[in-house]
Structures are given as C-alpha cells and as structure tokens.
A and B are shown apart, each in its own frame.
Chain A
C-alpha cells in the first residue's frame, strides 16, 4: 500500500511539473543512457534551465486566454 502511495505521489509530482512545462528528469536520464550512451547528460540544474528557456523564451506557443 505504501508502494502504491509513493507511486501516486510520484505521478502527482510529475503531473504538476509537466503542467508548468517541466518534463521528467529521471526519464530524460534514462533515455540518454539507453539511446545515446556516448553523449553527455545534462545535470538537473542545466536541464531545468534549458527547459525553462525552451518554454518561455524564443518561439514558445502562447498560453490560452
């Protein structure tokens, strides 16, 4: 049951972060290790900044009314 609860918590956290445009970091690391083991992996701090700029800077789409 505690497992379920911690899973739920993890999902809610992911959902909340994606609502503000921040994808899951663990998933990113896993993806990089699996498919691009030769490329460097961004640290969480760099990843965070990169995503923040991608969402708000440049040509990011507008938010709804």
Chain B
C-alpha cells in the first residue's frame, strides 16, 4: 500500500505531462498557450529523472555512496574540492549552457514548434542526459580523466588519437559558426556594434580592478560591470539615433569578419586576467540572469504561440536551412537534446568537484534536463513572434528578395501573412534599420526575448532596449567562447604539429604561440569568411556541419560508454547507451552522406561543386555569383565542406569500428576488463 501511494503522486505528474503533450501535439488550427509546452516538458523531465535516471544510477552504474570520489581522494582545495551538490550543479550548468541550446531550436522552428519540441523532450531523456550522466560517472571512476584519455585507455591508442583530432575539428567549426552568429547580428547595426565594442574596455577595466585595485573581488566588480553594460546599451541607442555617430559604428558583414579575426588573434594572446576572465564573469552572470528572467517572463505572461505546430517545410524545402525532417532536424537541434560537447565538460572540471558519486545523477542527468528546459524556452521565444517576421529575419535574400515589399510578398505567398509595413514597424520597434536576412538565430531569439521581457518589466518603449540587451548577452558569451576556444585550439594545434616539429610544442615560446594562434584563427576565420560571403546565408552550410560534428562527438561518447559497460560485464543494460548511440550514428551518417552526395545542389556539396564547375567551364556565371572569381570561390568552398564532412564520417566510422572490435572481445571474456580506478572507501565523516 505505502509502495503504491509513494508512486501515486508521480502517476499524477506523468498523467499531467501526457495530457499537456497531447494538447501540444494534437491541437491544430488554433493557437495554443506556451505554458502547455512548458508543463509537458517539465512533467516529463521530472518523471524521467525520478524513474529512468534512478534506474541507471542503481542498476546500470550501481553508484556506490561509500566509494571515495577523486575530489575526496585528491582534495587539494584547488582543482579537487568536494563540493556541495547544489553549488556544483550551478558550476556544471554554467559550463554546459551556451549559445547552442538557444540557437538550435530557433532555427528548427521553421518546421513549426512541434517537431523540435518532441525531439528536445525525447532526446534529452533518452540520449543527452544519459550521455552526460554516463561520462560523468566514467570520469569520476577514473580519477577525473578527460574523454580523449578514456577513449585511449579503454579502446586503444589509434581511436584515442582519432577522437582527439575529431575534437579539434569540432572546435574549429564551433568557433566559425558562433562567430558567424555574431556577424549576422551586428552587420549594419550601429546600436549592437557599439554595445559589443563597449564590452572590451569595460572588461579590461574590470580586469585591472580585480588584479590591482581590489584583487579578487569578483562580486563587486561584476555588479559594476553589469551596470556599465546596461549604460552602454542605453548609450548605443543614442549613438544609433545620432546622424553623425551612427555611421561610425555601421559595418558590413565582411568588415566585422575581419575585425573578429583580428580580435580572436589578439585576444587569445593577451594575459587572461585582462580580458578573457572578466568578460567570462560578465557573460556567465548575465547568462544565468537572462535565463531566469526569461523563465519567469514566460510563466507570468503565458504567451500564445503564433508559429503553427507544423509548417510545409517539414518536407525539406525550408528557407532557413535545407533538408528534410529526418535526419536534419536531429542535426539542427543538438544542444538541448543531446550535445557531444558536454562529454568534454562532464569529463573536465565537474568530476574533480563531485563530493559523492551518488550526486552524479543530480549533476549529470539533472543538469542536462535543465539545459533542455532552456532550449524549450528558446523554442517558445521563437514561436511567440509572428511567423512572417520569423521567416523575414531568417531567410536569405537569394530566396526571398532584398527589400521589404518583395520579402513580404514572398512570405505571404508561403501562407504566413505579413505586410511590408509590419516588417518596417518591427525593425523600428527594436531600434534597427532592417530585420531582413538576420539568420543565425540570435536576432530572432532577441526579438522573442524582447517581446517577453518588455511586457513583464516596467518602462515604456523598452522593446529596443531589451532587444539589444539580448543581442549583447549572446555576443558576450560567444566572444568569450571565441577567445577561450582559440586558446584551447592553439594548444591542440601546437600539440598536433609538435609531433612533427618539436619546437612548436613549447607553449611559452612567442613564435610557437603566434604560429599556433595564427593557424587556429586562420582555420575558423576562413570558414567564417566563407559563411559571411555565401549568398545563401552561410548558416545554411555551417550549422549542419556544426550539428553533424557535435552529434558525432556525442556518438563517440556513447560508444565509449557502451564499450565500458560491456567491459564491466553489465551487458544486460547495454541498451541504455546503444539505443541513443545508434540513433545518433544513423542521423549523423545519413546526414553526412546526404550533404556529400545529394543530387540537389541546394543540399549536396558535391552536386553544388559540379553544377558550378560545369557552368564555369562553359563560361557561364551562375547567380548568386557575379564574377568568374566568385564562381571559383563557390566551387572551392563546396569541396572544402565536402572534405570536412568526409573527415567527420571517417572519424565517426573508425570509432565505430574500434568500438565493435573492442566490445566484441570484451563480451566473450568472463571477467571484467575495464580500467576503473581501484575502490577506495569514503573516509568516515569527522
């Protein structure tokens, strides 16, 4: 009886979730309230956490509270510190949540809110949270080792090196795509440009203050920094309104690209305390604050979703990105459903701070559920804006035209009624000259956030302020990622090149530094430049590459987990990781082959290259290229992207090969063969 009553409340939660999901999935032709999505997601998360993650903890991993964790064994008060689980949850969440969960759902909204929402919920419960939890568990049982080290130890040297190479590629793609989002948001926007530029002196001021004036006072200087940022948003509005100053801060996409490349190069070589660290403080606190504000705003406002549940673009003809629902939806939404990048965090600092391995469930599984919730909010924010505005912002000019009248007409013909006046008025509301061709997710999300925040927070005509606040908050942590990623990429590159030229490994040598940083910046800078000048918008090509690479990393992490489960002789539970790993492999490999070999030039890289080569040989010039030189660019870029896709396929398939090989050998063994650290008992509490 008591057993039953214990579960009764959970049945109620499950029933509530099922009802809400039913409303989300089945209601057609009338607008539904955003709260239905939120309730459905939260109820399902709670039930999954209560039952599925507990099953994984008790049966699959057999977490042992009496086993000492790396934090306890190596406690040094610095890297290894047993930490209160709620505090560690905050640390882990701040490390995993970034631009990804915010941008992916916005791009996926072109198919309607339903497919993305269902994938976010199902993906996180069965794949994403499982991956984060498993890797955290594995790393905790291996003294906090990194993903690459674990692949090498459990699967062999060759797959270990391949996995590391894969990580480097992913890093480059992520940097390029993140920088592209910034370019799309700041091009022709003096207000946005001014505020983002202002963050540099603000961060430097904070850095100097924390180093020399009042060393280490993070709290007070962060508050000062946030106030200065808000002031700079206000000042940006004045700049944009002033006829003399507006043009000083107006730049084209290409100009901003060069500025970003130069910035990445310089920032990655400055001392960390001057720019990187203080801006990271700002972006972290702003990020958490904005997420909380957005959650409260959605709850108070309970907005109606204007985007339909499904649009005609589920067939793959959408303007924002090309490709059918399968496999491309599952590539477009990576973070929030399942993100391979998290396996680097879950095998990074978090396992070194875990006070007891029974808390891995709360941190690993729970932390990822929280990120999925952020993605759900991004989906809501993208769906509360007028679909006409959504498509005007996200469609490239080559598809919908370059002026408000043609754009409004094209989009109205698609069935999303919008007038040119509305497009102009929306741009005016948010303090911009135009909202056309602002793909990349960030501006769309900013409009959604601004619509929600300006209604719940006091003040008249604050829409423009909150729009630029949202742009600033995204640009801040993207710039932090660009800067930190360039540093990390530089070390990886120096390591890789150092195998051939040992002098390049010396990280304290200036020449080696410049070569490493320059090489890394050149790689992502090239991809970024190519994306910016791409008349089809760039996001079209780069985002799928990013999604494929990120999901591929998740596939590697889950394959590692599968192999280790077999080695631990827990093969009866191996479906827990095989199921999501197979799904990810099916999606990434299918998407990879489609991107390579699809006969339609809009989708397949090789078909695109062929179409342009044939035309170039015949002396023709195909739109959107205008010169022979541009034709050559298109061809070269198509081959570059094809080569990258081929590399990703090679990485994921070779890891699969080794996983099958090692897994089979371990399966027939009678005894355990994993490389877990030996058991050490938790010291008695004193």
Contacts and interface: CB of A to CB of B under 8 A. Distances in A.
A58 B491 CA distance: 8
B78 A23 contact: yes
B544 to A, nearest CB: 14
Contacts of A64: 95-98, 100, 335, 339, 341-342, 344-345
Contact of A24 (B81, B94, B98, B480): B81
Contacts of B284: 19-20
B480 to A, nearest CB: 7
Given A56-B280, A64-B345, A17 B218 contact: yes
B243 interface: no
| Size band of the interface chain B makes with A | 35 or more
A63 to B, nearest CB: 6
Contacts of A20: 94, 218, 277, 280-281, 284-285
B1 to A, nearest CB: 37
A35 to B, nearest CB: 8
Contacts of B91: 15, 18-19, 21
Nearest to B173: A65
> Which of the listed residues A11, A20, A32, A63 has the most CB atoms from chain B within 10 Å of its own CB?
A63
B487 interface: yes
Tell me the interface secondary structure of chain A in the complex: helix
Interface string B271-293: 01100110011001100100000
A50 B76 CA distance: 13
Given A15-B87, A17-B218, A61 B146 contact: yes
Contact of B75 (A31, A58, A59): A31
Which 7 A-B pairs rank lowest in CB-CB distance, beginning with the nearest?
Answer: A28-B77, A48-B216, A56-B272, A65-B100, A61-B348, A31-B77, A19-B94
23 contacts: A18-B90, A18-B91, A19-B288, A20-B218, A23-B83, A27-B77, A28-B81, A31-B77, A44-B216, A47-B216, A48-B210, A49-B215, A53-B272, A55-B272, A57-B272, A58-B491, A58-B507, A59-B491, A63-B95, A63-B485, A64-B344, A65-B174, A65-B546
Interface of B: 75-79, 81, 83-84, 86-88, 90-91, 94-100, 146, 171, 174, 178, 210-211, 215-216, 218-219, 272-273, 276-277, 280-281, 284-285, 288, 335, 339, 341-342, 344-345, 348-349, 353, 480-481, 484-485, 487-488, 491, 507, 546, 550
Interface of A: 11, 13-24, 27-32, 35, 44-45, 47-65
